[in-house]
Amino acid sequence: MSDRIDGPTPFYLRPIPGGARLEMDGLRRQVVEDVLSLLLDTDDVSFWDRLTELANPEEGATPDDMRLPYEELVSDLAERCSYRVPIYGRERLIELSRRLREIAAPKSLPGQQGRRAS
20-60 pLDDT, tens digit per residue, is 999 999 999 999 999 999 999 999 999 999 999 999 999 99
To which H or E segment does residue 40 belong?
Answer: none
Starting at the edge strand that comes first in sequence, how are the strands of the sheet with 11-16 ordered? 4-5, 11-16, 19-23
pTM for the model: 0.75
**What percentage of the chain's residues is helix, strand, coil (to nearest 5)?**
50, 10, 35
CA distance 95 to 14: 13
Average pLDDT, the chain: 89
